[in-house]
Amino acid sequence: MTAISDLIIGIIILMGALLTVVTMIGLIRLPDTYTRSHAASKSATLGVLLILVGCLLFFWIKDGSINGQLLLGIVFVFITSPVAGHLLGRAAYYSGSPVWKGTVRDDLKDKQKKTKHV
Amino acid sequence: MKKNDLILQTTTKVVTFIIIIFAIHLFFAGHYTPGGGFVGGLTTSAALVLLLLAFDIKTVSKVIPLDYKKVAASGLLLAILTGLGSFIFKVPFLTHTYSYFNLPLLGKTSLATVVLFDLGVYLVVVGVTMTIIQTIGESE
């Protein structure tokens, strides 16, 4: 465990925590469901990923063993968290959650009228 | 009402395998590290519930044709049989043993008979959880 690896791991984990804080600020300050879902699914995913990568590097350098569960967790969060964001936004749109009043175009609305979908 | 669930279904096809592999890992890791039959069974049934969310109940029962009540019953039977097996060796009920073997691929491994009991717990947990969820899901 050298000082340089200490520093790098510390920076990675701090960046992850900072991104999670940014997510929280976005959830409080953004106006409607879709922009909030944008904040929550993107930056929270990257924040959690960075924290997990920091843990992986820490135990790799300290114990010399790569933790398979952490690797699997990284892959799993990377796959599933954007899909969860997509499904949340989709469910919100089809249950009629209002868009922000500054929205200029809504392509899905015209499509929906034409095809009578869902 | 047929929904366009392409993203959910495609992701489910990939993610289900990851969850089931992790459940099997939890099941076998239970002797020396956190894990075991209960958590493994719950994780497996979480994968099956994800399949139920992405596809409908008929498709899933066609892909995995299991009667979950029978799964729970066979798990209970297995747990009792490993307990009764100790009578053959003139030791008290549910006495378990272990020993070290040199397996061809894994090297020196300790094999314990508790794994069979744990497999019973695993099957009971999967069976009971899936029975509850399918019963709730089918009722109108």
What are the chain A neighbours of B22 within 8 Å (beta carbons)? 69, 72
Position B1 scores a pLDDT of 41
* pLDDT tops 70 at residue A98: yes
Model confidence over B82-121: pLDDT tens digits? 988 888 888 888 888 888 888 777 777 778 888 999 999 9
User: What is the rounded CA–CA span in Å between residue A72 and residue B22?
Assistant: 8
User: What is the rounded CA–CA span in Å between residue A60 and residue B136?
Assistant: 45
Which of A51, A49, A60 lies closest to A13 in space, CA to CA? A51
User: What is the rounded CA–CA span in Å between residue A107 and residue A105?
Assistant: 6
Instruction: Say yes or no: ipTM exceeds 0.90.
Output: no
- Tell me, yes or no, if A80 comes closer than 8 A to chain B by beta carbon: yes
What are the chain B neighbours of A75 within 8 Å (beta carbons)? 18
Does the beta-carbon distance from A80 to B11 stay under 8 Å? yes
Model confidence over B16-61: pLDDT tens digits? 999 999 999 999 988 888 988 999 999 999 999 999 989 888 888 8
Which of B130, B139, B114 lies closest to B30 in space, CA to CA? B114
Q: What is the CA radius of gyration of chain A?
A: 19
Residue with tokens 């690896």: A5
User: What is the rounded CA–CA span in Å between residue B2 and residue A113?
Assistant: 17
CB A93 within 8 A of CB A78: no
* pLDDT tops 70 at residue B139: no
Does the beta-carbon distance from A79 to B14 stay under 8 Å? yes
User: What is the rounded CA–CA span in Å between residue A56 and residue A50?
Assistant: 10
CB B120 within 8 A of CB B73: no
In chain A, pLDDT over 90 holds for what percent of residues? Answer: 60
Q: How far is CA B104 from the centre of its chain?
A: 26
- Tell me, yes or no, if B1 comes closer than 8 A to chain A by beta carbon: yes
pTM listed for this prediction: 0.84
User: What is the rounded CA–CA span in Å between residue B84 and residue B79?
Assistant: 9
Q: Please, is A93 exposed, middle or buried when counting C-beta atoms within 10 Å of its C-beta (0-12, 13-18, 19+)?
A: middle
Q: Please, is A102 exposed, middle or buried when counting C-beta atoms within 10 Å of its C-beta (0-12, 13-18, 19+)?
A: exposed
Identify which of A72, A83, A118 has the shortest CB distance to residue B11.
A83
User: What is the rounded CA–CA span in Å between residue B110 and residue B98?
Assistant: 7
In chain A, pLDDT over 70 holds for what percent of residues? Answer: 92
User: What is the rounded CA–CA span in Å between residue B43 and residue A64?
Assistant: 29
- Tell me, yes or no, if B18 comes closer than 8 A to chain A by beta carbon: yes
User: What is the rounded CA–CA span in Å between residue A108 and residue B1?
Assistant: 19
Which of B9, B49, B28, B70 lies closest to B136 in space, CA to CA? B49
- Tell me, yes or no, if A72 comes closer than 8 A to chain B by beta carbon: yes
